[in-house]
Amino acid sequence: MLLDYNSLLLAVGFSAACLSLTLFGTWLTARSDKFLLTWAISVLVVVAEVFTYNAYIKTPGPALGVLTLALLLLGFSVMLGAAYQFRTGRSPLPRTVLGVGISFAVTLPPMALGSDGLGFMLENFLAALLLFATAYEYWKGRAEAPAPLIGVTLLYSLTAASFVLCSAVLVQDGKLVLGHAPSNWAEDLSLVIVIAALTGIGGLSLALNQMRLARHHQRDAQTDALTGLLNRRALFDLHGKTAVGAFTAVVVFDLDGFKAINDEFGHAAGDEVLKVFAGELSGNLRPNDIAARMGGEEFALVLKRTMPEMVEGTAERIRMAFAARTIETEAGPLGCTVSAGFAFGSNEGTSFDKVLSAADRALYAAKRSGRNRVLDFRRAG
């Protein structure tokens, strides 16, 4: 049985080592996903624990026992930090430090003082808590990809339950001092579960990362890099094939005299003007409104469930706020104005292209009539 247990333990170690290398390699190809590096480090610490524990089985002693417990709890604490980092994008350190602080304070003193049975009871219990906390982090983020994240949550929870079982068996046995590594059916079962869970969690998590990368690439392809707004392609993907109803409006904005700004102040100043206007645009929208940069100095809004006076009020508010801004650039302060035109769909539904063209005509009528104004297509004449 000891040989079988050692074989299982080494299988866990080599499986975890392969997973850590895979995670590290994946991180090298997508360094923006820093949670992969954190997770790779956590698994590597667990690998170190496995081989340290294997040494403890052969020559039990307080020093190796403390090191074994410390490595396992450190690895699981970093794993908790990686899950938090995956969900939020924030630093894993607070979760990691909290996990390490509590688990070390509870489990290491008994082991150091020779009560190895109590130490292993507490270690298994604290390890389970850390794994359940990790599962909960993924559960909280399940909206991103429900099926894979629920699968990861269940696998972490199953692994945590196996550690609870190990602790329960040791508590039932009631020995505070063992003098050797725990050896019972719960330990064997836990190793089998860990091997299966490592495989499942690794596969699902790598799939999740690929899904996230695909979404990032799609978002990059649909976002204007300078302003952070949607680009023309994204706007047409959303609305180009949909008929525009009578209560949906398209507003087109064009910055007045923008070429002169570029010529006089330079393109860096022009870029700053575009970013400032994009900020005014975003700051005056309702949650369901959509803003896009059409190209150059032209922008568009799509406003749903609205009326002409509401659209005109929104466009005027943006126009006046932008006109009142003094924009600081490397070439000095400058001011700029914007003209706008808007048009509505129809009860029967009008193609997006036609409504956009009507708003464009209203915009150019505003330009011809003096700039720095908003015109309704119906009054553009």
- Catalytic positions are 297
Token pair 């020779």 is at which residue? 114
Give the tokens for residue 365: 């009528």
- What stretches of the chain show up as alpha helix (H) in DSSP? 2-29, 35-58, 62-88, 93-112, 116-140, 146-173, 185-222, 232-239, 258-265, 267-283, 308-323, 352-368, 377-380
Distance in Å from the first CA to the final CA of the chain: 91
| CA–CA distance, 237 with 120 (Å, rounded to integer) | 58
Question: What is the CB neighbour count within 10 angstroms for residue 333?
Answer: 11
Q: Is 122 buried (19+), middle (13-18) or exposed (0-12) by CB count in 10 A?
A: buried
Conformational region of residue 241, where left means phi above 0, alpha means psi within -120 to 50, and beta covers everything else: alpha
| CA–CA distance, 60 with 236 (Å, rounded to integer) | 68
| CA–CA distance, 355 with 249 (Å, rounded to integer) | 8
- Rounded to an integer, what is the distance from CA 262 to the centroid of its chain? 37
CB hemisphere CA count around 264 (13 angstroms): 11
**Strand 374-376 to strand 298-303: parallel, antiparallel, or no bridges (unpaired)?**
unpaired
What dihedral do alpha carbons 146, 149, 202, 20 form, nearest 10°? 130
**26-55 exposure pattern, b = at least 16 Cβ within 10 A, e = fewer:** bbeeeeebbbbbbbbbbbbbbbbbbbbbbe
- The answer to whether 183 touches 232, Cβ cutoff 8 Å, is no
The secondary element (H helix, E strand) that includes residue 328 is none
